[in-house]
Protein backbone atom coordinates (compact mmCIF):
# COMPACT_ATOMS: atom_id res chain seq x y z
CA UNK A 1 0.00 0.00 0.00
CA UNK A 2 1.34 3.43 -0.97
CA UNK A 3 0.94 6.44 1.30
CA UNK A 4 0.90 9.99 -0.05
CA UNK A 5 0.99 13.46 1.47
CA UNK A 6 0.61 16.71 -0.43
CA UNK A 7 1.33 20.25 0.69
CA UNK A 8 0.50 23.52 -1.05
CA UNK A 9 2.59 26.60 -0.26
CA UNK A 10 1.17 29.87 -1.56
CA UNK A 11 3.73 32.66 -1.56
CA UNK A 12 5.09 35.32 -3.86
CA UNK A 13 8.45 33.50 -3.54
CA UNK A 14 7.14 30.17 -4.90
CA UNK A 15 9.44 30.19 -7.93
CA UNK A 16 12.54 30.94 -5.83
CA UNK A 17 11.58 28.16 -3.40
CA UNK A 18 11.02 25.75 -6.26
CA UNK A 19 14.42 26.52 -7.74
CA UNK A 20 16.01 26.04 -4.31
CA UNK A 21 14.61 22.55 -3.69
CA UNK A 22 13.88 21.01 -7.11
CA UNK A 23 17.47 19.82 -7.42
CA UNK A 24 16.86 17.41 -4.53
CA UNK A 25 14.04 15.45 -6.19
CA UNK A 26 16.31 12.60 -7.26
CA UNK A 27 17.94 12.25 -3.83
CA UNK A 28 15.10 10.59 -1.93
CA UNK A 29 15.55 7.14 -0.34
CA UNK A 30 14.53 3.80 -1.86
CA UNK A 31 11.19 3.67 -0.03
CA UNK A 32 9.88 7.11 -0.93
CA UNK A 33 9.68 9.62 -3.73
CA UNK A 34 8.99 13.33 -3.81
CA UNK A 35 7.87 15.74 -6.46
CA UNK A 36 7.80 19.51 -6.33
CA UNK A 37 6.12 21.66 -8.95
CA UNK A 38 4.80 25.13 -9.50
CA UNK A 39 1.16 25.94 -10.05
CA UNK A 40 0.72 29.43 -11.35
CA UNK A 41 3.13 32.12 -10.24
CA UNK A 42 2.60 31.82 -6.51
CA UNK A 43 2.02 28.18 -5.52
CA UNK A 44 4.54 25.44 -4.81
CA UNK A 45 3.17 21.89 -4.56
CA UNK A 46 5.04 19.18 -2.65
CA UNK A 47 3.88 15.58 -3.13
CA UNK A 48 5.57 12.79 -1.20
CA UNK A 49 4.76 9.11 -1.72
CA UNK A 50 6.16 6.25 0.35
CA UNK A 51 5.85 2.52 0.75
CA UNK A 52 5.05 2.76 4.47
CA UNK A 53 4.25 5.31 7.17
CA UNK A 54 7.77 5.50 8.70
CA UNK A 55 9.25 6.19 5.24
CA UNK A 56 6.60 8.85 4.62
CA UNK A 57 7.38 10.52 7.94
CA UNK A 58 11.11 10.50 7.24
CA UNK A 59 10.67 11.90 3.72
CA UNK A 60 8.29 14.60 4.96
CA UNK A 61 10.75 15.61 7.68
CA UNK A 62 13.44 15.99 5.04
CA UNK A 63 11.36 17.89 2.49
CA UNK A 64 9.60 20.19 4.93
CA UNK A 65 12.98 21.01 6.47
CA UNK A 66 14.43 21.78 3.01
CA UNK A 67 11.55 24.11 2.22
CA UNK A 68 11.78 25.78 5.62
CA UNK A 69 15.51 26.39 5.16
CA UNK A 70 14.88 27.84 1.70
CA UNK A 71 12.29 30.22 3.19
CA UNK A 72 14.68 31.29 5.96
CA UNK A 73 17.55 31.90 3.55
CA UNK A 74 15.25 33.84 1.22
CA UNK A 75 14.17 36.05 4.13
CA UNK A 76 17.81 36.78 4.96
CA UNK A 77 18.80 37.39 1.33
CA UNK A 78 15.78 39.47 0.39
CA UNK A 79 14.39 41.13 3.54
CA UNK A 80 10.80 42.31 3.29
CA UNK A 81 9.97 45.95 3.79
In this structure, what CATH number is given to the domain that contains residue 36? 3.30.310.50
Q: Which domain range does residue 73 map to?
A: 3-77
Q: Return the higher-pLDDT residue of 80 and 33.
A: 33
pLDDT > 70: percent of the chain: 95
pLDDT score at 24: 87
Q: Which residues 6+ apart lie within 8 Å of 56 measured at CB?
A: 3, 4, 5, 32, 48, 49, 50
> Do 32 and 6 contact (CB within 8 A), yes or no?
no
Q: Is residue 81's pLDDT more than 90?
A: no
- pTM recorded for the entire structure: 0.87
pLDDT score at 11: 94
Counting the structural domains of the chain, the total is 1
Amino acid sequence: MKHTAAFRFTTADARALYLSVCQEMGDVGDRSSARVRLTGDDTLILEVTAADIPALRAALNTWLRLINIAVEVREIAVPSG
